[in-house]
Amino acid sequence: EIVLTQSPGTLSLSPGERVTLSCRASQSFTSSHLAWYQQRPGQSPRLLIYGASTRATGIPDRFSGSGSGTDFTLTISRLEPEDFAVYYCQQYGTSPYTFGQGTKLEIK
Amino acid sequence: QVQLVESGGGVVQPGRSVRLSCVASGFTFSDYGIHWVRQAPGKGLEWVAVIWFDGSNKYYSDSVKGRFTISRDDSKNTLYLQMSSLRAEDTAVYYCARDFRGGYYFLDYWGQGTLVTVSS
């Protein structure tokens, strides 16, 4: 099973700031089959990024993803109030399709 | 528009069984793989199982293998999760989510979830 480790666990930031979230895999998997999801309080997860760097339909361009191999990042260039949420990475290269434990962005 | 609606959750005693359903609409159900993902109260997401678009492959997490069974009825646009030998640690919100393709991609649409509480 591929273990995804996200860091940091929690980040306290202010609107307008730039943030980079990390997702590290315990082993390489099928060519960048890495997705990022956002979960706001009380809501279902929402797809943000797939293929490590492709934004899903309707996702603002302040969200960007990068990485390959075992190291991936999600960057939000300028935080909006609605971006304060929990973010999960997921690999879909090898079953079981594991998630990271999540990074929570909270308002400072 | 794509919709996924889960049902079947509730309070279940340890060791008992329950079947969850997920009714899909707004897309051709038989063209897509579908996943179950769960989230224990206050915890992160845990992938549970997937069934491919044609039912030819089913995969499970180690934590549920041998106890849970995923299935689909394309005539009813419905996905199922038969959960047996339930344990307290199975308590979670269970989401169904559509695979972008046949069952081996990312999850592009999610339902609202149904809560299963395993307690005596």
- Cα A42 from Cα A92, distance rounded (Å): 25
Decide if A44 and B113 are in contact by the 8 Å CB cutoff. Answer: yes
> Chain A contact for B105, CB < 8 A?
yes
The distance of Cα B8 from the centroid of its chain, to the nearest Å, equals: 11
High-pLDDT (> 90) share of chain B, %: 96
CA-to-CA separations, A34 to A90, A97, A102, in angstroms, rounded: 6, 10, 14
Tokens 């089913």: give the residue: B58
Residue A47 has, within 13 A of its CA and on its CB side, a CA count of 24
Mean of the pLDDT values across residues B87-105? 94
Q: What gap in Å lies between CA B100 and CA B98, rounded to an integer? A: 6
Of B90, B110, B87, B89, the residue nearest B100 (C-alpha)? B110
Q: What is the pLDDT along chain A (108 residues), one digit of tens a residue?
A: 999 999 999 999 999 999 999 999 999 887 689 999 999 999 999 999 999 999 999 999 999 999 988 999 999 999 999 999 999 999 998 889 999 999 999 999
Q: Is B74 on the interface with A (CB under 8 A)?
A: no
- pLDDT of A29 reads 80
pLDDT at residue A31 in the model: 64
Contacts of B108 in chain A (CB under 8 A): 47, 50, 56
The whole-number average pLDDT for the span B42-63 is 96
Contact A96 B61 (CB under 8 A): yes
State how far residue A94 is from chain B, nearest Cα, in angstroms.
8
- DSSP assignment, residue A99? B
CA distance B101 to B34: 9
Mean pLDDT of B40-57: 96
User: What are the chain B neighbours of A39 within 8 Å (beta carbons)?
Assistant: 45
